[in-house]
Chains A and B, each alone.
Chain A
Amino acid sequence: MDLEVLIENVLNALAAGITIGCIYGLMCIGLGLIFGIMRIVNFAQGELLMLGMFSSLYLVTGGGVLAFLGPYIGPFVGALLAGPIVFAGGCLLHKFLIARVSGLRTTGSLDEGHFGQLIVTLGISLILQNGGLILFGSSPMTVRTPLASSAILVGPIYGDATVFLNKARLIAAAVAIVVAVSLYLVLEYTRLGKALRAASDNPTAATYMGIDTDKAYRIAFGLGAGITAIAGGLMATYLSFGPFIGLDYVIIMYSGVVLGGMGSILGAFWGGLTVGFVQQCSALVLPPQLQNAAIFVVFLLIVLLRPQGLFGRSAERA
Chain B
Amino acid sequence: MRYGSAPRLKKDLVTLGIVSVAYLAVSAFVTNSYYQLILTLVPIWALFGVSWNILSGYGGQLSFGHASFFGIGAYVVTLALVYWDLTPWLGIPLGMIVAGCAALLIGIPTFRLKGHYFALSMLAYPLAILYFLQYLGFQEMSLPMHRDNPAAYLEFTNPHYYTLVAVLLLIAGVFVSMLVENSRFGLALLAIRQNELAAEAAGINALLWKMRALVVSGMLAAAAGGFYACVLLVVTPDSVFGMLVSAQAVVVTLFGGVASVWGPVIGAAILVPLAESLNAELGNILPGIQGVVYGVAIIGIMLASPDGLFWTIRDRFFIPKAPAPLPVSLGANAPTVKQPAAAGSLLMKVENLSRSFGGLRAVSGVSFEVFAGEILGIIGPNGAGKTTLFNLLNGVLGADEGSAILGGESMIGPKVHTVARMGVGRTFQVVRSFPRLPLLDNVIVGAYGAGFADAAAIASAAHALDRVGLAAQAGVPAGQLTNKQLRLMELARALAGAPRLLLLDETLAGLGRDECDDVLDVLLRLRGEGMTVVIIEHTMHAMMRIADRFVVLDHGRVLASGLPRTVVEDRSVIEAYLGKKWAAKQDA
Contact = CB atoms under 8 A, between A and B. Distances in A.
Interface of A: 35, 39, 41, 97, 100-101, 110-112, 114-116, 118-120, 122-127, 129-134, 138, 243, 247, 251, 254-255, 258, 262, 287, 289-290, 292-293, 296-297, 299-300, 303-304, 307, 316, 318
21 contacts: A101-B302, A110-B194, A111-B62, A111-B193, A112-B115, A118-B62, A118-B254, A119-B255, A123-B298, A123-B299, A126-B292, A126-B294, A130-B288, A134-B288, A243-B288, A251-B123, A254-B120, A293-B130, A300-B128, A304-B112, A318-B197
Interface magnitude class on chain B: 35 or more
B132 A293 contact: yes
A307 B114 CA distance: 10
Interface string B268-290: 00000000000000000011111
Nearest to A247: B243
B323 interface: no
B119 A120 contact: no
Interface string B394-411: 001000000000000000
B117 interface: yes
B394 to A, nearest CB: 13
Given A97-B303, A118-B254, A297-B128, 19 more contacts: A39-B116, A41-B119, A114-B116, A116-B302, A119-B255, A122-B251, A122-B298, A123-B296, A126-B292, A127-B292, A130-B287, A130-B290, A138-B287, A287-B135, A296-B124, A296-B125, A304-B110, A316-B115, A318-B196
A201 B237 CA distance: 40
Contacts of A111: 60, 62, 193
Contacts of A132: 288
Interface of B: 60, 62, 64, 109-110, 112-117, 119-121, 123-125, 127-128, 130-132, 134-135, 193-194, 196-197, 243, 247, 250-251, 254-255, 258, 286-292, 294-299, 302-303, 306, 396, 435-436
B131 to A, nearest CB: 4
A290 B131 contact: yes
A296 B134 CA distance: 15
B121 A303 contact: yes
Given A119-B254, A126-B294, A293 B135 contact: yes
Contacts of B193: 110-111
A53 B250 CA distance: 29
Contacts of B120: 254, 258, 303
A100 B303 contact: yes
Contacts of B130: 293
A289 B302 contact: no
B134 A289 contact: yes
A123 B298 CA distance: 6
A287 B255 CA distance: 40
B292 A114 contact: no
A122 B60 contact: no
Nearest to B358: A314
B306 A101 contact: yes
Contact of B292 (A100, A118, A131): A131
Contact of A115 (B62, B196, B396): B62
A116 B124 contact: no
Main secondary structure of the interface of A (DSSP, over half): helix
Contacts of A300: 109, 121, 124-125, 128
Contacts, number: 149
Contacts of A129: 288, 291
A135 to B, nearest CB: 9
B135 A120 contact: no
A125 B288 CA distance: 12
A112 B454 CA distance: 32
Nearest to A262: B116
Contacts of A262: 116
A127 B291 CA distance: 6
A218 B435 CA distance: 31
Contacts of B64: 118
Contact of A303 (B117, B134, B303): B117
Contacts of B123: 251, 254
Nearest to B247: A122
Contacts of B124: 251, 255, 296, 299-300, 303
Contacts of B134: 289
A307 B287 contact: no
Given A115-B254, A116-B302, A125-B295, A251 B116 contact: no
Given A124-B295, A127-B295, A296-B127, A114 B119 contact: yes
A111 B259 CA distance: 13
Contacts of A296: 124-125, 127-128, 131
A303 B116 contact: no
A290 B137 CA distance: 12
6 smallest beta-carbon distances between A and B, as pairs: A130-B291, A130-B288, A126-B295, A133-B288, A127-B295, A293-B131
A138 B125 CA distance: 28
Contacts of B306: 101, 115-116
Contacts of A116: 302, 306
Nearest to A137: B287
Given A116-B306, A254-B120, A124 B299 contact: yes
A304 B109 contact: yes
Nearest to A297: B128
A247 B244 CA distance: 10
A110 B127 CA distance: 29
A159 to B, nearest CB: 33
B113 A290 contact: no
Nearest to B108: A304
Contacts of A318: 114, 196-197, 396
Given A111-B62, A116-B306, A251-B127, A258 B117 contact: yes
A8 to B, nearest CB: 26
Nearest to B110: A304
B557 to A, nearest CB: 24
Contact of A119 (B251, B286, B287): B251
Nearest to B301: A119
B288 A120 contact: no
Contacts of B247: 122, 126
A254 B116 CA distance: 10
Contacts of B396: 318
A251 to B, nearest CB: 6
Contact of A134 (B109, B127, B194, B287): B287
Contacts of A119: 250-251, 254-255, 298-299, 302
